Structure 1
Amino acid sequence: MPSVTVRNVPDEVHRAIRVRAAQHGRSIEAEMREILESAVKPQGRVKLGSLLAEVGRKAKLTDEELGTFESVRDKTPARAASFE
């Protein structure tokens, strides 16, 4: 997993992150990961799997039919496209 170094963080920002991390019971590093993740993930987005499951429910598929989709689903994490 890649690492990121952030230089020249103002003292008051570092202190605020340290306090926020303590409030959430996390390390500063874990808190910063959470902040970054929540900043780049759109709120309320609909995931494809959730959308397809909703379509299946509306089509009144049986649990067995819905299970077929789950068993063949590719659970490999997506990779970023490389243009080099």
Structure 2
Amino acid sequence: MANLVVRNIDEEVVSALKERAGRFGRSAEAEHRLILTNALLRTKKKSFAEVIAAMPDVGEDTDFERPQGAGGNNVFD
């Protein structure tokens, strides 16, 4: 394993790191490792556009027509 030294970190960031580590019962160093791992190695989530593009092209336009309410009015009017 390699060592990583991070310099010139704002005290506010260091305090937040220590607080977060304390909430989870970890050292600041362990919390720092976990944050870096999650940020850099976690599988990226798909964007909404990617999810939509991956949907299969099934059905007909008529499958998605809005039903007409009483009196021929659109049920959403």
TM range (shorter): 0.5 to 0.7
Aligned length: 45
Which residues of 2 match residues 14-29 of structure 1 at below 5 A? 14-29=14-29
Task: Give the superposed CA RMSD.
Answer: 1.6
Q: Which residue of 2 aligns with 1:33?
A: 33
1:42 Cα deviation from its structure 2 partner = 3.2
- Sequence identity, in percent? 42
- 2:12 is paired with a residue of what secondary structure? helix
Distance 2:24 2:43 in 1: 20
**Structure 1 stretches of 4+ moved >4 Å:** none
Unpaired runs of 5+ residues, structure 1, are 46-84
TM-score, normalization by structure 1: 0.50
Higher Rg of the two aligned structures: 2
Q: In structure 2, how many angstroms separate the alpha carbons of the residues matched to 1:22 and 1:7?
A: 22
- Which string of whole-angstrom CA distances, capped at 9 and with x for unpartnered residues, describes residues 17-76 of structure 1? 00000001000000000000000123368xxxxxxxxxxxxxxxxxxxxxxxxxxxxxxx
Measure the CA separation in 1 of the matches of 2:42 and 2:35. 13
- TM-score, length-scaled by structure 2: 0.54
1:8 alignment partner in structure 2:
8
